[in-house]
Chain A
Amino acid sequence: MAGVLPPEVEELFDAALVGELTVVGRKGRPITYPLIPLYDGQYVYLTSAVLFSKKLGHIKANPKVSISLSDPVAVPAANFARVTLQGDAEVIEDDTHEGWEELLPLWRAKEPVIDSFVKKRFAIPLFFERSIIRITPKRVLYWRGGDTEVDPQVFELEGVS
């Protein structure tokens, strides 16, 4: 089944090991966090340990976020391009202990070593108490070839849910 994102953008999200999540902080300031993005064809997911929960508070106060894929080293895609996805985020944390594990298959596909870390979760248990950040994409700005000196191609994704 085709995903909600344009294929060339999906390729980037499928490859991305790090993206830059920007949230709106107190006083309306943008704040950016590097995180690993996961994509299931409908939503973009990020997870955040409760140890680093500031961003979760910001998202709960203002769900409008963006995530950029900008670094060719961190996005090892065959057809590298730069992209910024804007959307509405929801923090899912009914079960911080195991809830995020439903994303393990997506995480494992990018970072197989995650399984060995999870097996050692007893050593750093608070790192594995995690909230899910689920982003519903609304708009994508796409810079072909990664060239940001030109206008981006804009994909409006209204109606996606």
Chain B
Amino acid sequence: MSAEITDAMTSESDIVSIVDLRVTFATDGGAVRAVDGVSIAVRPREIVAIVGESGSGKSVTAKSILGLVPSTATSSGSILLRSRDRSRTTDIVDASQNALRSLRGEDVAMVFQEPSTALNPVYTVGWQIAEGIRAHGSVSRKDAKKQAIDILRRVGIPDPETRVNYYPHQFSGGQKQRVVIAMALVLNPGLIVADEPTTALDVTVQAEILDLLRRLRDEFDTAIVLITHNMGVVADLADRVVVMYQGKVVEEADARTLFSSPQADYTKQLLAAVPHIGQGEARAAVRTQERLERDSSTTPVVVARDLVIEYPGRLGRGGFRAVNGVSFEIKEGEVLGLVGESGSGKTTIGRAIAGLSKVTGGSLSVLGREMLGIRERAFRSARVDIGFVFQDPASSFNPLLTIADCVAEPLVVHGRAADSRDARAQVDELLEAVQLPKAFGDRYPHELSGGQRQRASLARSIALRPKLLIADEPTSALDVSVQARVLELFTELQREFGFASLFISHDLAVVDLLADRIAVLYKGELVEEGTGAEVLGAPQHPYTQRLLASLPVPDPIDQQARREALHRLQAVDG
């Protein structure tokens, strides 16, 4: 941090300048410094991305701009926020609650991560937008509604005159995020803080929201502070990038420089950990070759023929068909990657194979047992050969049992050990296999980090040496750098134990890294299936093409070209 940067920070033209911000939280374990001497300046019409993994202090820094730190926190330093016309400057750190209230919305607004929880379900979106307008000055109900309709139109909600009276549940996820953005925009603030605005959205919807955010800068002249952990999103949108690690800024550069020549070691690590499409092809080829040499007469472990899974509807309504006529098979020792958006039925298929969801039509054969109409009693013996890794490592462990108890559970249940003490030797071996120290067995799940927990979860799933492992988005709750290591571990384990696997993910790049074959699901139907090279190299189905084009890559120049390609694709579709 040289004098030159400090000079730039105090410049009058900046919309917000954060100087030496420190935020400390009071926790049960004593004071925790979440933000440690951070200085950032945002110029008008600039998109600044703050990146870093969870716990890096990026969210706390951004929320501090709105004075939204919880009461257990104490802040020092200064955050000078200027209004759009420069008529007032406020130091957020010292500002009173009243002053903060009046500038929220007018000078700075926030877009939240999860649009479905940021909107109140019992009021119409028009009412919620008008609420913001009327909180900042006496505007009649009618005028406020007019403004609401206008702003909805500008964020791209079709037919805003009618839809202003809709309730949040009547919008799709992407449209809800547009409404949230409209609420942030309606008082025309000079700065918008967007906290992971696209994390909860599907890739194709994410691309649309990123386009909208870019338009905010171009059409509304709004500066944006973007918090994200997704380097692709950063490459797509940001002008300047601030990399944070453990409460400190480790690097700050404009986007192109950062991606082409990162300076700090941490940034280099972070960029290297991001999976790219195309990495997996060579590996997959080698694996397929190995498998063919090993055993040519492999029988499929899972065979699905015209599989149909319906969830029963409420009284008087038909059921919801989550999976519709899907056929695929998984051979022994093969990794099938299942890709699709939320609601595409990918998790349902995984759960059906594990016997957690009922199959309602077609045929699904798992390890030689027909799942259509099977009873739990008949399936229990097959469970020995099935492992399951859940999405959220935080909730897939019983919080009151130690890691060793949890990992020993399958061994105890299937009579391989009398109790968890008896199984301890095997548990230690398993923990070693997933590269966790033995001593971790005595800890409780909350004492482990997300990545460590997911590794323990892998240890539990392979405890019985299963023939089939179902992994349901095992890395989507993890940071990029942690994800890379868990994926590596998965590959190693798969090679060592040779289990067949269904790997479910929404991230094409992750699936590409691991899978021998990739299946793409869209609205409950299988639209494309083939090797990684076939599906990702030359996608046939328009949905796969769009999915692939929507995936932002961590390279600003490359991403710009892809963005234009996507727009062409959309123009053809529309």
Partners in one complex: no
